[in-house]
Amino acid sequence: MRVLFVISLFILGVFQHTFWFGPNGYFALRQHTQEIQLQLGFNRSLLERNRELRQEIAELRANRERIEEIARHDLGMVGEGEVFYLVVPPRSEH
């Protein structure tokens, strides 16, 4: 009878170890839950960024002047018949 009790305790201990520390155990589940929450937050930020980009694309398709404004500001575009002047600040003497 005592041997059966010891074997039962051993089997119970193995099951408990697997439940808590196994690859699909409690602590692994908590870790995966945290990783999922982080990934969901990252996905939400990407969805928001995609929404903003779609809105910007729609704005650029609808407004040709906005495209020209961006080209002038970011790329230094000079239109046909325009003259470009570069004003350089004076050097300070130190």
Q: Mark 30-60 as b/e (b = at least 16 C-beta within 10 Å).
A: eeeeeeeeeeeeeeeeeeeeeeeeeeeeeee
Question: Residue 22: its pLDDT value, please?
Answer: 84
More confident residue, 51 or 94: 51
Question: Residue 45: its pLDDT value, please?
Answer: 98
Q: Is the pLDDT of residue 50 over 80?
A: yes
Confidence grade of residue 15 (pLDDT, cut at 50, 70, 90):
confident
Tokens of 74: 């970011």
For the whole model, what pTM was predicted? 0.57
Q: Is the pLDDT of residue 82 over 90?
A: no
Q: Is the pLDDT of residue 52 over 90?
A: yes
